[in-house]
């Protein structure tokens, strides 16, 4: 046990053995093998090796206790248990345990380990971090050692720079992950593994925290925070109580940072476009460039606190150098090819210690220039070295003399938040500067008080925040206020120092005097999207898009009154001194309106060229109205001032500037209110989307007279300037309803068996959504989640994916012959007809809780299904069981009861299959002509073919927000109280609770509950979600969502003689091989090497009919059936599209398209979509150029040519 006489017990297939444990009772060894995902067992003499547990992803730790074997899986994030002898009875003890690790804590005493040896001899040993004393029996901690960081220390992360705080004994480091943002941050831990804690985990840029430095005198931690387009230098108290930004820069790239508490300076390395080493005061001011020439990539900095010299390494120049903290010439310490990649460096006593990534070594040498002695190798063969520091009390002296009487050393210098020591002025007085994380310095220049200045207030989805109007002042006026649910709109009362804000759940709250004292004012407001405070009459106005209204109430929530009916109100602004209010309407005809404060004399001041008018604000002084556009208060003199906003949500105006929030970039911007110039990013990369925004200033709420101020204007209840109509009445200026015209362009989606495609309603834009399908006959969409759903008859499944093509998944298996499909976007349900089972079914949108709603409702194939939002009925068609020779088809329409039928087309339609409508047009697919057509929905006029397709077109829908309008959902709250299915009843105000198939309905305490009721021929999933046929268990396909029907104990499957066995173990007929249909669930029957006569073999191995080659459709899925060299003669028009890629101001990549008609270049063309371009460095910092959207057309052939990133 002292390490002598080693014997190899087991070999072969033992890559990456992570952990080992001993079963003392049974005299067995257990170990985890990461490479094979197994846990094995054997005897201590090397015999009887067996596998106990298999099928793991990353077994991480093992332990034996009594009759059980316990283990963790780091990837699956679980802790599990099995019988140690057989591996059976597997139980998940804990799941969703992120960051699983094995950590053994040993209570250390004078003697640590006693290692017995043969013949009664023993050896004493010490735990990690301790050394054996001269008596060879007791242990003492190391007082001095080097701490190194490596990029591979933690899987999926990069441990970049490190520092220590000797007074507390903590090691600090910054993590960076390019794929998992939540892993980025600053953390600390003690050398014995205790005290692990996250210090900074929020407000981190896309490129992570790139450097840290501990100011051990003042108790502060400095760090550089890299966003895509700018970098922050920030400081946080070591106890994490306060944090603030010291400086922001868009030109430079500060990375590694060090602090000198003795001389009171901050230094950082910058390896941006102009590499340099800079110095600043500890508060980030007085920036000075120390080195700007003879430097390329300064990777690491180090401070010699004795002399004040700053050392750095440059891996591009293979150099180690230093400079005097007050400037001067660079002094070379080491230079040449013997130091190829120095990355991190530290100074200790008379030596420098550095790490070299390529050489995988830790070196030590003299810190003085001109020393020619070979460096000593401290450690060798360490991969991905990044940084090094010294854990030694001498590196961080705390004596008053040693720190040159640092004024922040004791009691934080008397400062409430931050104490920054300033350099000695030469007068002998020790200067300091107190600074606040939020608020302003008090009169004593030490305490912090709530700011009384003008500043921005804004909401994110979960907070109320503030921001200085000066972009260079990074202290916030008040601390972040966390609020539950989703906060949306806000306004303020400057006289009462009170902020009002709404939440999407319909709750109205008050935040008193910028504190976290939040008062509930009113609930049950529907969905208040916009609010405005009338500071003259002390009333609050709010827009409610659920109840389609604008209402008002007093500040205490009483005297609530209806003001105006608005189809889809959003933003609202008040001008109480002039007696007007303004609001935006996202309704059928988007507009901006003005009315009195009582809701009368409504006028549409802007009613053209609007889609979703957002961000309404007023310039009271110049009488101008701003939104995502601008005009006078009467709607005239419109002019665009900012055209670069991506997704502006809210805006406000103050002085010469306009401010707005942007959902897409999660940022707040400022620009000149007259011409949009001087655009500035105020803050970016907020933790969630910024919502409403205002400038809190007294001049924003000027006082004026009000007729309601004396004797309540003579009113008995509510006094509001302007005539106030009674509840239920609204004065309409013209007395006419508006025709639906949202200015949002609708488009068509349809299937033609192998593809999903979209098509503009005029037929000009035609493109591919998804290919590689087998037989898609029905589809629908969900605008809420932005997903497409479709039925694939050949695969017997219902699938879905997002509009952008991501997250494709099967939601329902075993659909024997699905014919119709409909999405209930209100109650969030999925309906379909199965003609084989002759029934109508329903489920949740994710496929859970399938229920048969109606039987014997389908007599034949070709069923069309749709959901009607107003009647809350499901309708379907049925061809019946009688067959006819059909000579012609016709189109008719009726009311929803089938009465008042009218003919649109009669006898002149070859074979229409599916139909959809929008506005005054009807659209349909035709099997015989293989076209998508349109015409007038009332009289059939203006008929035209929009597109011809190669294959029969099947289902078709119009995609537009008003095809799926927002309607009240009685199942929205707590699923209507149902345990499983909540289905809306006719009328839409009530619902019923239903149970899925094979579930028993029981009444428990007046509530309907569902219990699984599986028969003897069914298998119940472990999570009680559903019952499946017993023969589905162990069939190679997971039919239970928890995978319990496919346990690891399933026996191997064997096919009968003459059958083809799929890769997943299932069987199929050999006649089905290479027929372009996936008869095997895993598609392995389409992996054949050759194709039958008359077929064309694609590059991906698929076989298609020879006639499909060069038909302008990508039938193969890899475009190999459309080779340019052979098919060019079939293409009437060619276009060459080149893309010029350049970096925009926000750090993303812009694509400029250049199109030219003519002969298409062959050799240089890169077919398909332009690939992403990724540029990065060794630290993982990168830019990603996303490809432009694909463009296709039925009459034009587009190709993309690759271009270099400029």
pLDDT for 361-383, tens place per residue? 999 999 999 888 999 999 999 99
- Residue 1090: pLDDT over 90: no
Per-residue pLDDT tens digits for 296-320: 999 899 999 999 999 999 988 999 9
* pLDDT the model gives residue 986: 74
- Residue 641: pLDDT over 80: no
Model confidence at 523, pLDDT cuts 50, 70, 90, reads low
User: In angstroms, how far is the first alpha carbon of the chain from the final one?
Assistant: 62
- Write down all domains in the chain, each with its CATH number in brackets: 17-95 (2.40.10.500), 144-402 (2.120.10.30), 413-449 (no CATH), 455-714 (2.120.10.30), 747-967 (2.120.10.30), 1125-1201 (no CATH)
Nearest to 253 by CA among 296, 220, 191: 296
Count of C-beta atoms within a 10 Å radius of residue 771:
16
Count of C-beta atoms within a 10 Å radius of residue 938:
12
* pLDDT the model gives residue 910: 84
* pLDDT the model gives residue 1041: 77
Mean pLDDT computed over 434-441: 90
Mean pLDDT computed over 910-937: 87
* pLDDT the model gives residue 110: 47
Cα–Cα distance for residue pair 1008/246, rounded to 1 Å: 59
Query: Helices in 21-101 by DSSP H: which ranges?
Result: none
Tokens of 730: 């609204």
Nearest to 665 by CA among 190, 1040, 206: 206
Beta strands in 981-1105 (DSSP E): 981-984, 991-994, 999-1004, 1007-1012, 1018-1020, 1027-1029, 1060-1061, 1067-1068, 1095-1097, 1103-1105
Mean pLDDT computed over 1193-1198: 32
Nearest to 690 by CA among 644, 722, 645: 645
Query: Helices in 339-389 by DSSP H: which ranges?
Result: none
Tokens of 409: 């050393």
What sign does the dihedral 930-936-941-947 (CA atoms) show? negative
Nearest to 362 by CA among 370, 351, 372: 351
Where is 681: in which H helix or E strand?
A: strand 680-683
Specify the higher pLDDT residue, 487 or 88. 88
Model confidence at 1046, pLDDT cuts 50, 70, 90, reads confident
Residue 917: strand, helix, or coil: strand
Per-residue pLDDT tens digits for 453-464: 889 999 998 888
Per-residue pLDDT tens digits for 723-766: 543 333 333 333 333 334 456 788 999 998 888 999 999 999 88
Specify the higher pLDDT residue, 1058 or 69. 69
Per-residue pLDDT tens digits for 554-583: 887 777 888 888 888 889 999 988 888 999
By the 8 A CB rule, do 985 and 971 touch?
no
Specify the higher pLDDT residue, 132 or 417. 417
Per-residue pLDDT tens digits for 951-981: 889 999 998 887 887 778 888 888 888 888 8
Cα–Cα distance for residue pair 332/560, rounded to 1 Å: 77
Of all residues in the chain, the percent with pLDDT exceeding 70 is 81
What is Dmax (Cα atoms) for the chain?
109
* pLDDT the model gives residue 1172: 33
Mean pLDDT computed over 177-196: 85
Where is 1125: in which H helix or E strand?
A: helix 1124-1127
- Residue 1140: pLDDT over 80: no
Classify each residue of 482-498 as buried b or exposed e, where b means 16 or more C-beta atoms within 10 Å of its C-beta: ebeebbbbbbbbeeeeb
Tokens of 1201: 């040519």
Specify the higher pLDDT residue, 873 or 899. 899
Specify the higher pLDDT residue, 719 or 144. 144
Model confidence at 163, pLDDT cuts 50, 70, 90, reads very high
Count of C-beta atoms within a 10 Å radius of residue 231:
25
Model confidence at 111, pLDDT cuts 50, 70, 90, reads low
The number of angstroms, rounded, from the C-alpha of 1082 to the middle of its chain's C-alpha atoms is 30
Cα–Cα distance for residue pair 186/159, rounded to 1 Å: 10
- Residue 1168: pLDDT over 90: no
* pLDDT the model gives residue 713: 52
* pLDDT the model gives residue 1003: 74
The phi-psi region of residue 276 (left if phi > 0; otherwise alpha if psi is between -120 and 50; otherwise beta) is beta
Nearest to 1021 by CA among 1009, 1033, 1031: 1033
Tracing tokens 């020879």 back to the chain, one arrives at 1106
Query: Within 13 Å, how many C-alpha atoms sit on residue 244's CB side?
Result: 28
- Residue 485: pLDDT over 80: no
Where is 915: in which H helix or E strand?
A: strand 912-918
Contacts of 612 (CB under 8 A, 6+ apart): 570, 586, 590
Name the pTM for this structure: 0.51
Cα–Cα distance for residue pair 627/652, rounded to 1 Å: 9
By the 8 A CB rule, do 489 and 500 touch?
no
Q: Tell me, what DSSP letter sits at residue 438?
A: B
Model confidence at 886, pLDDT cuts 50, 70, 90, reads very low
């Amino acid at each position: 046990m002292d390490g002598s006489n080693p014997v190899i017990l087991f070999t072969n297939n033992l890559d990456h053995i992570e952990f080992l444990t001993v079963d003392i009772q049974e005299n067995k060894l257990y170990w985890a093998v990461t490479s094979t995902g197994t846990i094995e067992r054997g005897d201590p003499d090397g015999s009887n090796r067996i596998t106990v547990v298999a099928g793991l992803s990353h077994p991480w730790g093992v332990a034996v206790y009594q009759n059980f074997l316990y283990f963790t899986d780091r990837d699956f994030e679980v802790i599990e248990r099995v019988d140690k002898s057989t591996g059976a009875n597997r139980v998940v003890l804990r799941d969703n345990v992120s960051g699983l690790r094995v950590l053994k804590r040993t209570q250390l005493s004078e003697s640590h380990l006693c290692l017995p040896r043969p013949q009664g001899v023993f050896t004493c040993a010490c735990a990690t971090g301790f050394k054996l004393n001269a008596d060879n029996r007791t242990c003492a901690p190391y007082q001095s050692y080097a701490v190194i960081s490596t990029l591979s220390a933690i899987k999926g992360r990069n441990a970049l720079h490190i520092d220590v705080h000797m007074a507390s004994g903590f090691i600090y480091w910054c993590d960076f992950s390019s794929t998992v943002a939540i892993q980025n941050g600053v953390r600390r831990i003690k050398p014995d593994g205790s005290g692990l804690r996250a210090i900074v985990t929020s407000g981190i840029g896309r490129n992570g925290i790139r450097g840290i430095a501990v100011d051990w005198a003042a108790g502060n931690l400095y760090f550089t925070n890299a966003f895509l387009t700018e970098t922050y230098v920030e400081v946080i108290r070591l106890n994490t109580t306060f944090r603030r930004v010291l400086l922001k820069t868009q030109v430079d790239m500060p990375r590694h940072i060090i602090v000198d508490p003795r001389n009171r300076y901050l230094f950082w390395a910058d390896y941006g476009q102009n590499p340099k080493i800079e110095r600043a005061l500890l508060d980030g001011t007085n920036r000075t460039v120390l080195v700007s020439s003879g430097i390329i990539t300064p990777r690491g900095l180090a401070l010699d606190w004795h002399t004040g010299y700053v050392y750095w390494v440059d891996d591009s120049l293979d150099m180690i150098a230093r400079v005097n903290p007050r400037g001067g010439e660079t002094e070379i310490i080491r230079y040449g090819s013997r130091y190829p990649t120095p990355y991190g460096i530290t100074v200790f006593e008379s030596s420098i210690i550095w790490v070299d990534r390529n050489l995988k070594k830790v070196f030590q040498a003299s810190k003085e220039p001109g020393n020619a002695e070979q460096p000593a190798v401290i450690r060798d063969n360490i991969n991905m070295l990044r940084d090094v520091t010294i854990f030694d009390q001498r590196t961080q002296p705390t004596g008053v003399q040693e720190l040159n009487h640092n004024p922040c050393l004791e009691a934080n210098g008397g400062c409430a938040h931050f104490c920054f020591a300033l350099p000695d002025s030469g007068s002998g007085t020790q200067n300091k500067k107190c600074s606040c994380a939020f608020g302003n310095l008090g009169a004593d220049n030490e305490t912090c008080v709530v700011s009384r200045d003008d500043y921005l207030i804004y909401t994110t989805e979960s907070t109320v925040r503030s921001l200085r109007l000066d972009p260079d002042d990074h202290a916030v006026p008040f601390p972040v206020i966390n609020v539950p649910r989703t906060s949306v709109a806000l306004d303020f009362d400057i006289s009462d120092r009170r902020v009002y804000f709404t939440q999407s759940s319909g709750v109205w709250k008050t935040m008193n005097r910028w504190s976290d004292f939040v008062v509930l004012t009113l609930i049950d407001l529907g969905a208040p999207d916009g609010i405005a405070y009338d500071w003259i009459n002390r009333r609050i106005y709010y827009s409610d898009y659920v109840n389609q209204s604008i209402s008002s109430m007093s500040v205490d929530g009483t005297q609530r009154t209806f003001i105006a009916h608005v189809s889809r109100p959003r933003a609202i602004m008040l001008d109480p001194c002039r007696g007007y209010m303004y609001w935006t309407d996202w309704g059928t005809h988007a507009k901006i309106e003005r009315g009195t404060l009582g809701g009368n004399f409504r006028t549409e001041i802007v009613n053209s060229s609007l889609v979703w008018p957002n961000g309404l604000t007023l310039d009271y002084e110049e009488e101008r109205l701003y939104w995502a556009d601008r005009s006078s208060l009467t709607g005239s003199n419109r002019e665009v001032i900012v055209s670069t906003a991506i997704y502006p949500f809210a805006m406000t105006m103050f002085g010469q500037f306009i401010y707005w929030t942007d959902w897409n970039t999660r940022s707040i911007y400022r620009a000149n209110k007259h011409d949009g110039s001087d655009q500035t990013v105020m803050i970016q990369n907020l933790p969630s989307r910024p919502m409403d925004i205002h400038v809190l200033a007294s001049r924003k709420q000027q006082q004026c007279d009000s007729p309601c101020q004396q004797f309540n204007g003579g009113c008995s209840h509510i006094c509001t300037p302007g005539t106030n109509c009674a509840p239920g009445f609204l004065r309409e200026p013209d007395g006419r309803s508006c025709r639906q015209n949202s200015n949002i362009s609708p488009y068509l989606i349809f299937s033609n068996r192998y593809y999903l495609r979209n098509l503009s309603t005029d037929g000009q834009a035609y493109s591919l959504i998804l290919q590689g399908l087998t037989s898609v006959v029905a589809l629908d969409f969900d605008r809420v989640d932005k997903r497409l759903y479709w039925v694939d008859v050949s695969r017997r499944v219902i699938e879905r994916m997002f509009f952008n093509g991501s997250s494709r998944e099967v939601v329902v298996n075993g659909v024997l012959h699905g014919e119709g499909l409909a999405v209930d976007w209100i109650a969030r349900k999925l309906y379909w007809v199965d003609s084989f089972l002759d029934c109508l079914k329903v489920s949740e949108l994710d496929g859970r809780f399938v229920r048969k709603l109606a039987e014997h409702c389908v007599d034949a194939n070709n069923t069309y299904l749709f959901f009607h939002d107003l009647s809350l009925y499901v309708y379907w068609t049925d061809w019946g069981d009688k067959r006819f020779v059909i000579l012609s088809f016709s189109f008719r329409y009726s009311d929803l009861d089938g009465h008042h039928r009218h003919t649109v087309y009669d006898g002149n339609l070859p074979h229409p299959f599916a139909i959809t409508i929008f506005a005054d047009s009807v659209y349909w697919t035709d099997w015989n002509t293989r076209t998508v057509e349109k015409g007038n929905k009332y009289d059939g006029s203006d008929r035209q073919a929009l597109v011809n397709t190669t294959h029969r077109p099947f289902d078709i829908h119009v995609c537009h927000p008003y095809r799926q309008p927002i309607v009240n959902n009685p199942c929205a709250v707590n699923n209507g109280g149902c345990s499983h299915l909540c289905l809306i009843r006719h009328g839409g105000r009530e619902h019923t609770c239903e149970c899925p198939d094979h579930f028993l309905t029981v009444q428990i305490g007046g509530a309907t509950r569902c219990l699984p009721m599986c028969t003897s021929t069914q298998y119940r999933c472990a999570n009680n979600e559903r019952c499946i046929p017993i023969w589905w268990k162990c069939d190679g396909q997971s039919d239970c969502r928890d995978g319990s029907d496919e346990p690891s104990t399933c026996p191997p499957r064997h096919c009968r003689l003459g059958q083809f066995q799929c890769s997943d173990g299932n069987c199929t007929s050999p006649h089905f091989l290479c027929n372009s249909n996936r008869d095997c669930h895993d598609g392995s029957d389409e992996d054949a090497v050759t194709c039958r006569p008359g077929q064309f073999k694609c590059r991906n191995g698929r076989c298609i009919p020879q006639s499909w080659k060069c038909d302008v459709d990508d039938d193969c899925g890899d475009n190999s059936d459309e080779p340019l060299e052979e098919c060019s003669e079939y293409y009437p028009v060619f276009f060459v599209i080149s893309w010029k890629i350049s970096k925009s101001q926000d750090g993303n990549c812009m694509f400029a398209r250049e199109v030219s008609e003519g002969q298409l270049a062959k050799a240089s063309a890169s077919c398909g979509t332009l690939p992403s371009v990724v540029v990065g460095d060794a630290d993982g910092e990168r830019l990603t150029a996303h490809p432009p959207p694909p463009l296709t057309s039925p009459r034009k052939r587009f190709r993309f040519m690759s271009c270099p990133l400029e």
